[in-house]
Amino acid sequence: MKISLNTLKYYVDINVPVEELCDRMVMAGFEVEDIEKQGDEIKNVVAAKILKIAPHENSDHLQICSMDTGAGEPVQIVTGAQNIHEGDYVPAALDNSYLPGGVHIVSGKLRGVESNGMLCSGKELGLTESDYEGAEVNGILILKGEPTPGTDIRKVIGLDDYIIDFKITANRPDCNCFLGVAKEISVVLGTKFTAPKPEYKTAGGNINDYISIDVRNFDLCPRYIGRVVKNLRIKESPEWMKKAITASGMRPINNIVDITNFVMLETGQPMHAFNYNDIRGHKIIVRNAAEGESITTLDGKEHKLTPDMLVIADGEQPSCLAGVMGGKESEIENDTTDLFLESAKFRRDNIRHTCRALGVRTEASSRYERGTDIMNVEYASERALQLISDLDAGDIIDGTIDINDGLPEDRIINVTTDKIMELIGVDVPDEKIADILNSLGLTTVLNGKELTVRVPSIRDDIEGRADLAEEVMRIYGYNHIVGTPMRGDVVRGKKLPERIKTDKIKALLCGAGAREIATYSFIGSGAVDTLLLDKNDERRNQIKIINPLGDEYSVMRTQLTTSMLTVLATNISRKITAGRFFEISKRFIAKSLPITEQPDELATMSVGIYGKDEDFFTLKGIIESIMKLCGAHTEYERSTEPYLHPGRQALVKANNVPAAVFGEVHPAVAEEYGIDCRVYVAEIKLDILLQINKRKTVYKPLPKFPAVERDFAMLCDSDLPVGTLEKAIIKGAGRLLEKIELFDVYSGAQIPEGKKSVAYSVWLRSADGTLTDTEIEAASSSIIKNLESVGAELRK
């Protein structure tokens, strides 16, 4: 809400500088978004008298002026304007002066003649007709009267006002107007506040002879007041009104329209003026729009209406979109002679709904949406008539039509001062509490510690002790609140087990040299195509955002790999040669699509690595350490993820449950991301790992007896996985096995075609004693037998 300081001063005494006023309003709950000093950009521009005008030798349109700028010596300024005469008083921008928009004026030569400044037009000073008469004429601004040459031009043209932009919180719709803000200022500063008392002359007649009003939906329109004004005298509004309207960001149009706007700005109650003669049948009907009806509004746009929208109709059709915008047909124009004036209360959620549906928002609708006061409807109507009368804008017909379904009683709150202040913990004297509430217009009676507070409908936001506590404190001052340390039983805050485990996994990954990343929870809908996912793949069941910021952020992710690939691509494109990254976040799995209930949000982890020292097995090592940390028994199987290299990927089972997939990214997919090197990613269903109950660690005694190491070298088919050999050895060695280590895989010279040579070291040890040759021999032959059974032949 933008309000000029001079306007506020009309209602309330302001006895402090504007900066202090704003600071104090901020501390009372009215944030100040901006203080604009009018003419702030104008510097070194003065009123000057034209002493002499001489023609310019080298130009037929330039003139050379000798100016009295109050400096003693005349100053020579060249101008192109033709509307000036000797003896005129005009604004002169002197050497090294500034005009709005940062325009800097310095001395120079115009076609060879020295010019020590510039004579200014109203436009150049940022003025409009509402600021100063003649400001918009073509040419130099001719000043009225005989201002002393050298006087600051801002003083001469009255640019001494401040425009303050207050941010009005949603609970204070009563302050979206001059009177509301002025009232608050009076309480904050402790100064006098005066609201205009509407009084006006009427011209006789009876309104009922002119119009009938029928409200058919009291739910959406609880109150409607109509008045009629005849013999309009439409003209320009007075300067003060134009200034007030302009300062608040609206445009002056003519006295009638300006009065309705001014009253809205002043009281917060939107007004609407209809051309009386355009109201067919002289009937006003407040009703829901009929199916298929439409209206062309003041801005010339046609809107198709639906039955949930409220209209003000005449005898035949909608004449106004209630609370939003008037109809083009009944617009007030310069030749309008008679006026029907509406002041009404409409239900805020309905107005909001209509505005959203039609994509329209006006000063009026935004006030209705925030909520208007039903009791204010009458005051605003009276105030508008007072202005019509004062400005002699028309003849007011006697009589008011006030249709309502009953008016609300004031809300009475009975509460003790203790009950209010126990929410705050600050001691405020009982009398002070009552005084503050009274000053805010909440009529309060104090009896001992008992308070009876009468809340008028305009302060609908005040429902109980918490609201009263806020009212008292924002005026008494929040600086009185002194912090007390946390009280209550001494307890240690607990973390959820999932968070504790996740933190450990993160620590492990950090130790493995990985950097944690953070990416958005939504991705592009096409990302699943880029990953080449099968059309039946479950990860395609993505939840769509109804109002996304763009297609690239349009669905909730069902996997983290897309985001990881994007991050890898970003880093690779920036010539970062290697990196390890991880992210722990959620995947969103719909129970059904389109969704009707909250989806499963499952903990998920992704890991991505690249660089010359990284390969499949580095990533496998990382995965294995995570599995170990979680206490999972791990098995690897070949997998068939379409976005991974068909020969370099694996599914990881944790305690027999598929829990992760990892591998080298398929070159075709990498290319789509602009990745030109080998990258490796893992997608881990952390929710599964977090469910595993890790066995409690129990210490195993250190070995007392020596271990025996035996090497086994074998030949087998080259496509036999070493995992199979490993399993065979483990099985063969039985309980004596301590450790097994693959130390060589070879194929090539001296190895038959289609075969490979594999060599393992195996350590055997017993906890019960040094192994005997017989025991070792038995274990060895068992290992060999098992190896042979899977198709490996020992090399002699």
Partner 1 sequence: MKEKLKAIKAAAQNAIAAADSENIIEELRVKYLGKKGELTAILKQMGSLSPEERPAMGQLVNEAKQELETLIAEKKEALKAKATELKLKAETIDITMPAKEINAGGLHPLNIVINDMIDIFQSMGFDVVDGPEVETDYYNFECLNVPADHPARDMQDTFYLAENLLLRTQTSAAQIRTMETRKPPIRVICPGRVFRADEVDATHSPVFHQLEGLVVDKGITMCDLKGVLEQFAREIYGSDTKVRFRPSFFPFTEPSVEVDVSCSECGGKGCRVCKGAGWIEILGAGMVHPNVLRCCGIDPDVYSGFAFGIGIDRITTTRYKISDIRLLFENDKRFLDQF
* Positions in 429-468 near partner 1 (CB under 8 A): 463-467
Q: How far is the CB of 160 from partner 1 (least distance, A)?
A: 24
d(CA 85, CA 49): 10
Could you tell me where the DSSP H helices lie in 83-213? 153-156, 178-189
Name which of residues 331 to 360 contact partner 1 (CB under 8 A): 348-349, 352-353
361-384 core/surface letters (b: 16 or more CB in 10 A; e: else): ebebbbbbbbbbbbbbbbbbbbbb
Neighbours of 314 (CB within 10 A): 22
d(CA 411, CA 370): 20
Q: How far is the CB of 632 from partner 1 (least distance, A)?
A: 22
Q: How far is the CB of 496 from partner 1 (least distance, A)?
A: 6
- 439, amino acid identity: S
Q: How far is the CB of 360 from partner 1 (least distance, A)?
A: 15
Q: How far is the CB of 619 from partner 1 (least distance, A)?
A: 14
Q: Does 411 bind partner 1 (CB under 8 A)?
A: no
Name which of residues 481 to 510 contact partner 1 (CB under 8 A): 481-496, 498-499, 503, 506, 509-510
Pairing of strands 515-516, 579-589: parallel
Q: Does 544 bind partner 1 (CB under 8 A)?
A: yes
Cα separations in angstroms, 344 against 213, 347, 429, 555: 12, 10, 41, 44
Among 55, 87, 513, 734, binds partner 1 (CB under 8 A): 513
Neighbours of 70 (CB within 10 A): 16
Among 203, 549, 657, 794, binds partner 1 (CB under 8 A): 549
Q: Before 548, cis peptide (omega within 30)?
A: no
Neighbours of 319 (CB within 10 A): 26
| Cβ-proximal residues to 561 (8 Å cutoff; 6+ apart), any chain | 531, 606, 643, 681, 683
d(CA 396, CA 383): 13
Query: The tokens of 504 are what?
Result: 């450990």
Q: How far is the CB of 520 from partner 1 (least distance, A)?
A: 5
Among 57, 315, 429, 478, binds partner 1 (CB under 8 A): 478
State which residue, 168 or 313, has the beta carbon closest to partner 1: 168
State which residue, 310 or 384, has the beta carbon closest to partner 1: 310
State which residue, 338 or 369, has the beta carbon closest to partner 1: 369
Note whether 124 and 149 are within 8 A (CB).
no
Q: Does 301 bind partner 1 (CB under 8 A)?
A: no
State which residue, 78 or 556, has the beta carbon closest to partner 1: 556
State which residue, 27 or 751, has the beta carbon closest to partner 1: 27
Name which of residues 9 to 38 contact partner 1 (CB under 8 A): 26-29, 31
Instruction: Name the phi and psi angles at 111, rounded to 5.
Output: 50, 45
- The DSSP code for 280 is G
State which residue, 28 or 403, has the beta carbon closest to partner 1: 28
* Helix/strand/coil (H/E/C) assignment for every residue in 606-623: EEEEECCCCCHHHHHHHH
User: Given CA atoms 658, 662, 668, 673 in this order, what sign does their dihedral have?
Assistant: positive
Number of residues interacting with partner 1: please give it, by CB under 8 A: 94
Q: How far is the CB of 431 from partner 1 (least distance, A)?
A: 21
Which range, of 2-10, 382-390, 518-526, 740-748, touches partner 1 by CB under 8 A? 518-526
State which residue, 614 or 641, has the beta carbon closest to partner 1: 614
State which residue, 169 or 294, has the beta carbon closest to partner 1: 169
Name which of residues 185 to 224 contact partner 1 (CB under 8 A): none
568-581 core/surface letters (b: 16 or more CB in 10 A; e: else): bbebbeeeeeebbb
Q: Does 426 bind partner 1 (CB under 8 A)?
A: yes
Q: Does 621 bind partner 1 (CB under 8 A)?
A: no
Which range, of 265-273, 441-449, 593-601, 690-698, touches partner 1 by CB under 8 A? 593-601
Among 229, 250, 393, 514, binds partner 1 (CB under 8 A): 514
Q: How far is the CB of 222 from partner 1 (least distance, A)?
A: 16
State which residue, 43 or 353, has the beta carbon closest to partner 1: 353
Q: How far is the CB of 478 from partner 1 (least distance, A)?
A: 4
Instruction: Name the phi and psi angles at 215, rounded to 5.
Output: -95, 115
> Which positions from 519 to 538 touch partner 1 by CB under 8 A, shown as an x/- string?
xxxx----------------
d(CA 314, CA 325): 15
Which range, of 444-452, 563-571, 739-747, 748-756, touches partner 1 by CB under 8 A? 563-571
Q: How far is the CB of 27 from partner 1 (least distance, A)?
A: 6
Among 147, 268, 326, 599, binds partner 1 (CB under 8 A): 599
Instruction: Name the phi and psi angles at 660, rounded to 5.
Output: -160, 155
- 314, amino acid identity: D
Q: Does 588 bind partner 1 (CB under 8 A)?
A: yes
Name which of residues 565 to 584 contact partner 1 (CB under 8 A): 567, 570-571, 574, 576, 579-582
Q: How far is the CB of 188 from partner 1 (least distance, A)?
A: 11
Cα separations in angstroms, 417 against 355, 428, 438, 479, 745: 43, 9, 14, 20, 86
Q: Does 707 bind partner 1 (CB under 8 A)?
A: no
Query: The tokens of 323 are what?
Result: 């609370």
* Helix/strand/coil (H/E/C) assignment for every residue in 733-746: HHHHEEEEEEEEEE
Q: How far is the CB of 424 from partner 1 (least distance, A)?
A: 5
How crowded is the C-beta side of 19, counted as CA atoms within 13 Å? 0
